[in-house]
Amino acid sequence: MPKKYDAALRDRVVGAVNRGISARAAAAQFEVGVATAIRWARRWREEGTHADPPRRQRTFKLDAYADWLTALREAEPELSCQSVVDRLAEEHGERFHETTLWYWLRRNGITHKKRR
């Protein structure tokens, strides 16, 4: 992800636009993208701030089954990801790819290895 611009730079660009310079000219003067300067100026006019809106938190469908997955893993730790996905389909009617489960486990810090 790209790095956020400094608030002082945003202030200078928006200030220049408020003084009558076009957003394109301000973008060239402060060496930022034209679309960025236009977006900052528009946001300043409409909302009174030039800061980025807060990012929305990403949600995952498997979060709804976290307790069930934890209990299943404790009861049967030797199950493969494919077996867990099959159980989810049988017991809850939800279909997920095994890679989706693997990414969810990894995101939650759960290792899932078969022990020999």
Q: Is residue 42 part of a domain?
A: yes
How many domains, the chain? 2
Q: Is residue 34 part of a domain?
A: yes
Q: Are residues 43 and 75 in the same domain?
A: no
Distances in Å between the Cα of 51 and the Cα atoms of 13, 60, 73 are 12, 27, 44
> What's the domain range around 20?
7-47
Is the pLDDT score of 30 beyond 90? yes
Task: List pLDDT tens digits, range 66-101.
Answer: 899 889 888 988 888 889 999 999 998 989 898 988
Q: Is residue 29 part of a domain?
A: yes
Q: What does the block give as tokens for 79?
A: 């199950």
pTM score, whole prediction: 0.50
In Å, the largest CA–CA distance within the chain is: 72
